[in-house]
Amino acid sequence: MIGITAFGGYVPRLRLSRKSVVEANAWANPALKAHGKDERSMCNWDEDSLTMAVEAARDCLSGAAKETVKTLYFASTTFPFNDRLNSGVAAEALNLENELDTLDIAASQRAGTSGLIAAFKAAAAGPLLFLAADKRRARASSAQELLWGDGAAALLLGTDNPVAEFLGSYSEATDFVDHYRGQHSEFDYVWEDRWIRDEGFAKIVPPVVTGLLKKTGANPADIAHFVFPCTYARLSQAIAKKAGIPEEAVRDNLQAVCGETGAAHALVMLVAALQDAKPGDLILVASFGQGCDALLFRATEALPRLSPRNGIKGAIARRKPEGNYSKFLAFNDLTAIDRGMRAETDKQTALSTLYRKKDMLLGLVGGRCEQCGTVQFPKTNVCVNPNCNAMHSQLDHPFANIPARVMSYTADRLTYTPDPPAYYGMVQFDGGGRLMVDFSDVDADRMDVNAPMRMAFRIKEYDAERGFTKYFWKAVPA
Amino acid sequence: MATGIKDKVAIIGMGCSKFGERWDREADDLMVEAFEEALADAGIEKNQINAAWLSTAIEEVHVGKSGVPLAMALRLPYIPVTRVENYCASGTEAFRGAVYAVASGAADIALALGAEKLKDTGYGGLPQRSRGVLNSMYGANLSAPGSFAQLAAAYRAKHGVDKADLKRAMAHISVKSHDNGAKNPKAHLRNKINEDIVLKAPMIAEPLGLYDCCGVSDGAACAIVTTPEIARALGKKDLISVKALQLAVSNGVEAQHNSWDGSYFATARIASTRAYQEAGISKPRDEINLIEAHDCFSITELVTMEDLHISPEGGAIRDVLDGFYDSDGTIPCQIDGGLKCFGHPIGASGLRMIYEMYLQMQGRAGERQRKTTPVHGLTHNLGGFPHQNVCSVSIIGRYDA
């Protein structure tokens, strides 16, 4: 039996109040008021699809034997790199084995589900980690800006005691262009909503859902969870009804708490569904985009035994309201703000150094002295322990998952950061090792010496001149 | 066993430019300003100098690398000129080079000159600069105030000090240095302030406000050194000599090993202990009469008073608030205004500290002259960050002491 053996989720903790967006933009576009309720998730300035995918993967792999992962697929329409293997960066950050099949899947809102269907075929060869993440950029004052959110999901696929059995899939492809983003375009170009709803969703999705039910022999009345990303009011219910799926099976599209997370959203909703499902529940996932995918799962007895994790529900519960729309515009480079002269330094990356130090920089791998046992970051030729100083004695020692505490810190208003003040300080890892490192996601009133921290894979800086995103690890409040 | 530097070298001439925002002066103008004073003070000719050391720190916005800028500015007659850089402790490094050259007998008379032209960046504070290819890929994006501010967090945690109490002691340090700077015609900042102004100033890097930070200045300072024998032959009396020159450099223990708690400078403790030994001083609190410490930030000065073994560990707050380090206290610290108010043209700062010792010991410090002429003075010149730094401690004194 092949299926999902573990899952994880990530939604950035910042939640932008839609009211703040509408209040700023309704003068130009009063129709935005229709979307002015609740909040959408919003990446911090140092988060993108890749960092979110890594966080979801870490959540997914907690308690799993990650050294057994044979394949890594990553789906997104907002990869930080058009030509650099994004799944390869994620693999380094996750410290996966070098023997690894990797694949980036893109170019459609169905990338998540179509990729997942392909992944189930590949997973026969061994455990496969499937990541999906999106951080879609919409024009300021557009409806998309309000409807979309940022987020990621991760699924571990395999045959070893799945929590949800994969029962089959059915897809149809048709070049229905509701929106598109050309190779050289920054933003999507979107056609009329009524046409997308009536001629697109309402006509393209139902035959695919029915096709899946027919192909798998499942009784629509038995579907307990209908996972279908769709922001048109009541349309999911209408589609479910048409297929004979009980209306109450229609899953919350998370519009009120998160917004639609692009190609990741079907999987984001699936993870949330798995967090609610009982053994035996049938879960039908459908996803629209130049055609439609539908996948069927059955939750197993292993589901309640899966070790605790954040999943999507935990990530959504961990929220920080953000009422400042200007900050959202600045973080997403939607406004030409004055960053100050200190932001003008050259940010070129020496790719040869990055490669030489990739375990350290992408994997947060330090050293452990095989003579005295002292752990340290970074790994060096000479052991840092003044009573040892052994030469060439260091074995790899990964720090990413070791809890840490603040030894000293500051909130710096002089140094350049997109989100002042810049919090940073010395963190000390449980069991030894320390690092003077940038912090992120800090709440001023909770920061002090001894505060518990965890390490997170984040953007160190962005080299706008060369389009290169530099990643490293930061300490975030645990 | 090394015999140390004590009394092997005498200072016969010193000069210091006015520090500050010298918008109308180039780096070579500042070098000449300091050099002319020192040369006149020494009463020698330029061509009697056998070797020279130039200290500058931030060459990205300055004169560039090598000894050439000094040789050009002074038209030195094809003598050896070496440029040194060791973070903010560069000035003392130039001095160390010149002193060692004389002590070794390789030079009869040597020049140490430090200069920095910082106010050409277009913004306040120290210039943004490269931290190196690998460091910039993982190191915290720290500023100088942000790194030193962390001393306060760790010091509070270690000694159980209330935030407000520490901030008040830090304010006293800055108020004191402004009082001193006001009496110094060459100082960058000559305004008097009070505790209230310090406490209400805008935050730079918590808990350091604007007045907890030293000035960023243009300036130059220099020293001409020779042997005591040559000094006497030149007719010099009441010689001022070098008693100790020590330098301790972090090797990564503070940054990477959990044995350091972040509340003090490991290097300063080691360098000062060695310096007292070299100078033959056993009770520094009784024998040191004057201190010029590297007060880049108020918290640095406070913590350093303990690391120099003057205040007991955890006792600096009391000494500071008691006025022990005030200009009329037992051991004045930054009687010339310090980095805080005299200013901090990086490459020049270590030499500026020695300049003040030299003036005070000769009774030439004008309005700020200490009533009892100091016998032993300590200069503490620090570069880098609390967790990774170079720290030099020098002791200057009367040759006959």
B360-399 pLDDT tens trace: 999 999 999 999 999 999 999 999 999 999 999 999 999 9
Q: Enumerate residues 424 to 443 of chain A having a beta carbon within 8 A of any beta carbon in chain B.
A: 424-426, 428, 432-434, 436-438
Task: Transcribe B249-270 into DSSP letters.
Answer: E--SHHHH-TT--SSS-HHHHH
Asked whether residue B5 is domain-assigned, the answer is no
Last residue of a domain, one of B204, B233, B262: B233
- Which residues span the domain enclosing B223? 10-120+218-233
On the question of pLDDT at B1 being above 70, the answer is no
Same domain, A303 and A351: no
**DSSP one-letter code for B374:** P
| Predicted model pTM | 0.96
Q: Using CB atoms and an 8 Å cut-off, which of residues 366-385 of chain A contact chain B?
A: 374, 376-378, 380, 384-385
Residue A100: Cβ-neighbour burial (10 angstroms; 0-12, 13-18, 19+): middle
**CB-neighbour burial class of residue B242 (10 A; exposed 0-12, middle 13-18, buried 19+):** buried
Per the CB < 8 Å rule, is A450 touching B157? yes
Q: Do B145 and A426 touch (CB under 8 A)?
A: no
Taking the C-alpha atoms of residue B3 and residue A477, their distance in angstroms, rounded to an integer, is: 53
Residue B229 sits in the same domain as residue B271: no
Q: CA B342 → CA A2, A61, B87, B192, distances in Å?
A: 74, 58, 19, 13
Taking the Cβ of residue A149 and every Cβ of chain B, the question of whether any pair is shorter than 8 Å is answered with no
Minimum CA–CA partner of B127 in chain A = A342
How many of the other CB atoms lie within 10 Å of CB of A33? Answer: 15
Determine which of B129, B258, B267 to mutate to test the interface with A (most A C-beta atoms within 10 Å): B258
Position A382 in a domain: no
Instruction: Compute the nearest-CA separation of B223 from chain A (Å).
Output: 34
User: Does residue A136 sit within a domain?
Assistant: yes
- Give A465: exposed, middle or buried? Use CB within 10 Å, 0-12, 13-18, 19+: exposed
Q: Per the CB < 8 Å rule, is A380 touching B252?
A: yes
**Residues of chain B neighbouring A385 (CB-CB closer than 8 A):** 257
CATH of the domain at A285: 3.40.47.10
| Average pLDDT along chain B | 96
Residue B116: inside a domain: yes
Q: A432 contacts in B (CB within 8 Å)?
A: 258
Torsion angle of alpha carbons A252, A253, A256, A258, nearest 10°? Answer: 130
- The reply to whether B353 and B226 lie within a common domain is no
Domain span at residue A308?
A: 3-331
Closest to A173 (Cα-Cα) out of A114, A236, A261: A114
Q: Tell how far CA B238 is from the center of its chain.
A: 24
Identify whether residues A178 and A77 lie together within a single domain: yes
Catalytic option among B88, B214, B222, B341: B88
**Helix boundaries (H) for B105-237:** 135-138, 144-159, 163-182, 195-200, 228-233
pLDDT the model gives residue B353:
98
Q: Which of A345, A360, A414 sits opposite B125 (nearest CB)?
A: A414
**B42: Cβ contacts below 8 Å, ≥ 6 apart:** B12, B13, B224, B234
Residues A240 and A195 in one domain: yes
- Write out chain A residues lying below 8 Å of B122, CB-based: 341
Sign of the four-CA dihedral A394, A396, A400, A403: negative
Cross-chain residue pair A421–B133, CB shorter than 8 Å: no
Regarding whether A353 and A321 lie in a shared domain, the answer is: no
Active site residue B387: no
The Cα-based distances of A249 to A167, A206, A261, A314, B175 in angstroms read 18, 16, 21, 21, 70
Tabulate helix, strand, coil % of chain A (nearest 5).
Answer: 30, 30, 40
Minimal Cα–Cα distance from B293 to chain A, Å?
23
- Are the CB atoms for B317 and B277 separated by under 8 Å? no
Same domain, B166 and B200: yes
Which residues, in sequence order, are bridge partners of residue A470? A461
pLDDT band at B165 (very low <50, low <70, confident <90, very high): very high
The answer to whether B172 is a known catalytic residue is: no
Specify if A155 maps to a domain. Answer: yes
Contact list in A for residue B384 (CB cut-off 8 A) is none
Asked if residue A419 and residue A292 are part of one domain, the reply reads no
Confidence of residue B401 (pLDDT cuts 50, 70, 90): confident
Same domain as B56, residue B107: yes
The one-letter amino acid code at B327 reads: S
Q: B187 and B114, same structural domain?
A: no
CA distance A337 to chain B (A): 17
Question: Closest by alpha carbon to A456, among A440, A436, A432, A433?
Answer: A440
Identify whether residues B228 and B356 lie together within a single domain.
no
CA distances from A82 to A107, A118, A138, A183, A461 (A): 11, 21, 19, 10, 18
Residues A417 and A313 in one domain: no
Start-end of H helices in B105-143:
135-138
Report the pLDDT value the prediction gives residue A326, as an integer from 0 to 100: 97
Q: Is residue A114 part of a domain?
A: yes
Question: Is A460 touching B (CB cutoff 8 A)?
Answer: yes
Which has the closest alpha carbon to B94: B348, B400, B401? B348
Q: Which of B344, B376, B380, B387 is catalytic?
A: B344
**Rounded to a whole number, what is the distance in Å from the CA of B143 to chain A's nearest CA?**
5
Q: Inspect the interface and report whether the beta carbons of A357 and B154 lie closer than 8 Å.
A: no
**Residue A387 belongs to a domain:** no
* Residue of B243, B278, B235, B221 lying closest to B10 (CA atoms): B243
DSSP track, A316-331: HHS-EEE--HHHHHHH
CATH number for the domain spanning A471: value is 2.40.50.840
Q: Which among B123, B142, B157 has the least Cβ separation from residue A341?
A: B123
Q: State how far Cα A83 lies from the chain centre.
A: 20
- Considering the domain architecture, whether residues A234 and A273 belong to the same structural domain is answered as yes
Residue A374: inside a domain:
no
The helix (run of H) or strand (run of E) holding residue A40 is strand A39-42
**Same domain for A350 and A270?**
no
> Is residue A109 located within the same domain as residue A35?
yes
Residue B131 domain flag:
no
Q: Exposed, middle or buried: residue A14 (CB in 10 Å: 0-12, 13-18, 19+)?
A: buried
The whole-angstrom distance between A383's CA and the closest CA on chain B is: 10
**Does residue B178 share a domain with residue B97?**
no
Q: Alpha-carbon distance B316 to B297, whole Å? A: 15
Whether B380 and B244 have beta carbons less than 8 Å apart is answered as no
ipTM of the complex: 0.94
Residues in chain A with CB shorter than 8 Å from the CB of B142 are 412, 415, 424, 436
- The pLDDT of B313-327, averaged and rounded, is 97
Q: Which of A415, A439, A458, A460 to mutate to test the interface with B (most CBs of B within 10 A)?
A: A415
CA distance A246 to A225: 9
Q: Is residue B386 part of a domain?
A: yes
Q: How many of the other CB atoms lie within 10 Å of CB of A301?
A: 11
DSSP code string of B2-69 = ---STTT-EEEEEEEPPPB--TT--HHHHHHHHHHHHHHHHT--GGG--EEEEE-S-GGGSS-SSSHH
- Measured from the Cβ of residue B191, the count of other Cβ atoms closer than 10 Å reads 10
Same domain membership, residue A348 and residue A283: no
For chain A (478 residues), the mean pLDDT of every run of 10, in chain order, is 97 98 97 96 98 98 94 98 98 97 97 98 95 98 97 97 98 98 96 97 98 98 98 96 97 98 98 98 98 98 98 98 98 94 92 98 98 98 98 98 97 96 98 97 95 98 96 98
How many pairs of residues across A and B have Cβ atoms under 8 Å apart?
Answer: 134
Helix, strand or coil for residue A362? Answer: helix
Nearest Cα residue in chain A from B148: A410
Instruction: Tell me the residues of chain A between 331 and 370 that have a Cβ less than 8 Å away from chain B.
Output: 340-342, 344-345, 349-350, 353-354, 357, 360-361
pLDDT in tens, B106-146: 999 999 999 999 999 888 888 887 788 999 999 999 999 99
How many whole angstroms separate alpha carbon A76 and alpha carbon A56?
14
Among the three residues B167, B201, B233, which one is the final residue of a domain in this structure? B233
Instruction: Give yes or no for A410 touching B (CB within 8 A).
Output: yes
Asked if pLDDT for residue B60 goes beyond 80, the answer is: no
Same domain, yes or no, for B164 and B200?
A: yes
Does any domain span residue B390? yes
A226 located within any domain: yes
CATH number of the domain where residue B327 is located:
3.40.47.10
Is residue A121 helix, strand or coil? helix
Please report which residue ranges of A288-378 form alpha helices under DSSP H. Answer: 311-317, 325-331, 351-356, 358-363
User: Considering its fold, how many domains does chain A have in total?
Assistant: 2
Q: Are residues B58 and B179 both part of a single domain?
A: no
Cβ-defined contact of A422 to B146 (cutoff 8 Å): yes
For residues B148 and B111, membership in a common domain is answered with no
Do B128 and A345 lie within an 8 Å CB cutoff? Answer: yes
State which residue of chain A sits closest to B207, comparing Cα positions: A410
Clarify whether residues B48 and B165 are in a common domain.
Answer: no
**pLDDT at res. B122:** 87
Let me know: does A113 contact A287? Beta carbons within 8 Å. Answer: yes
Give me the pLDDT at residue B121, please: 87
Among A308, A331, A354, where does a domain finish?
A331
Say whether both A240 and A359 belong to one domain: no
Q: Do A421 and B205 lie within an 8 Å CB cutoff?
A: yes
> Strands A320-322, A179-180: parallel, antiparallel or unpaired by DSSP?
unpaired
Q: What's the domain count of chain B?
A: 2
Based on the fold, state whether residues A299 and A250 are members of the same structural domain.
Answer: yes
- Vertex A214: Cα angle to A208 and A216 (nearest 5): 105
- Within a domain: A383: no
pLDDT of residue B61: 78
SS (HEC) of A244-275: CCCHHHECCCCCCCCCECHHHHHHHHHHHHHH
Minimal CA separation from B264 to chain A, in Å: 12
Say if residue B65 is in the same domain as residue B81.
yes
